[in-house]
Amino acid sequence: MSARVVVLTGAGVSAESGHPTFRGPGGLWEGHRVEELATPEAWANDPALVWRFYQERRQRLALTSPNSAHELLAKFEVDLRDAGVGFSLITQNVDDLHARAGSDPIYIHGELSVLRCEVCGEKVRDLDHLDPEVFFPCPACGHKAMRPDVVWFGEMPYRVEDVFRQVGNAKVFLASGTSGVVYPAAGFLQLSRDAGAMTFVNSLDEPENLSLDDAFFAGKASEVLPELCARILKRVTG
């Protein structure tokens, strides 16, 4: 079954669970913008600072739960698949809230719960070692500090080819909770629109990449998505 409905989520969808967005209020951490911390250069120059930043984020995973928007998207997938409609959930979020709600998203920016060794490539799923002052050594090669398996600025997002193909084949594309400024994800809306998809966008305020051809729904994902997803379901199955 090839995907006909493709959903892209961003930080706004996890905001109601208590994960701060990147560009809204609370977007700074200890006075640093995320663009100064989420880079290979920051990790090379000050690994202790970057590790502390990510360990705080990893700690927060245990303190937060999926909200009704995550749950609704998991149910949306089940409803679509039951009706024989393909579905794909692509997320820029590195938290695990979609998965905990029952979805199996494509994490184009990686996952906070996974650590990766830059020396040997070993990956470990770990949320037990959360001390901000203690690095996590690689169990395979002994390298002293694994990094979070998240995509930093200047690095290639994961599964780009697969995702471009799915977005280019979408009949319906829905973006929720993303400001539309970070590429390549910010380009998915135009890609799907140019390929003939119906495009729907939900965010608190108009994202940068919005066009007059997109149907825009302002508001919280938890409030907007129930009716919007019901409408899309009716449209693609009716």
Q: What is the 3-state secondary structure (H, E, C) of the chain?
A: CCEEEEEEECHHHHHCCCCCCCCCCCCCECCECHHHHCCHHHHHHCHHHHHHHHHHHHHHHHHCCCCHHHHHHHHHHHHHHHCCCEEEEEECCCCCHHHHHCCCCEECCEEEEEEECCCCCCEEECCCCCCCCCCCCCCCCCCCCCEEEECCCCCCCCCHHHHHHHHHCCCEEEEECCCCCCCCHHHHHHHHHHCCCEEEEEECCCCCCCCCCCEEEECCHHHHHHHHHHHHHHHHHC
User: By beta-carbon distance, which residue lies closest to ligand OAD?
Assistant: 12
List Cβ neighbours of 147 (8 Å cut-off, separation of 6 or more).
Answer: 43, 115, 116, 117, 118
Closer Cβ to ligand OAD, 127 or 204, answer by number: 204
14 is a site residue for ligand OAD (CB under 6 A): no
List 97, 146, 177, 201, residue binding ligand OAD (CB under 6 A): 177
Quick one: which segment of 70-78, 129-137, 163-171, 198-206 binds ligand OAD (CB under 6 A)? 198-206
Q: Does 12 bind ligand OAD (CB under 6 A)?
A: yes
Give the shortest CB-189-to-ligand OAD separation in angstroms.
Answer: 12
Build a one-symbol-per-residue string for 151-170: x at contacts with ligand OAD by CB under 6 A, - elsewhere: x-------------------
| 97 scored as a contact of ligand OAD (CB under 6 A) | no
Out of 4, 7, 19, 22, name the contact with ligand OAD by CB under 6 A: 22
Q: For residue 70, indicate whether it is catalytic.
A: no
Please report, as residue ranges, which positions from 32 to 91 form the binding site for ligand OAD (by CB under 6 A).
Answer: 34, 38
Out of 3, 6, 7, 11, the only residue in the binding site for ligand OAD (CB under 6 A) is: 11
Question: What spatial distance separates the first Cα and last Cα of the chain, rounded to whole Å?
Answer: 18
Q: Please, what is the minimum distance in Å from the beta carbon of residue 225 to ligand OAD?
A: 9
Instruction: Report, in Å, the least distance between residue 168 CB and ligand OAD.
Output: 21
Which residues carry out catalysis?
109
Q: Which residues bind ligand OAD (CB under 6 A)?
A: 10-12, 15-16, 21-24, 34, 38, 92, 109, 151, 176-179, 182, 202-205, 207, 220-221
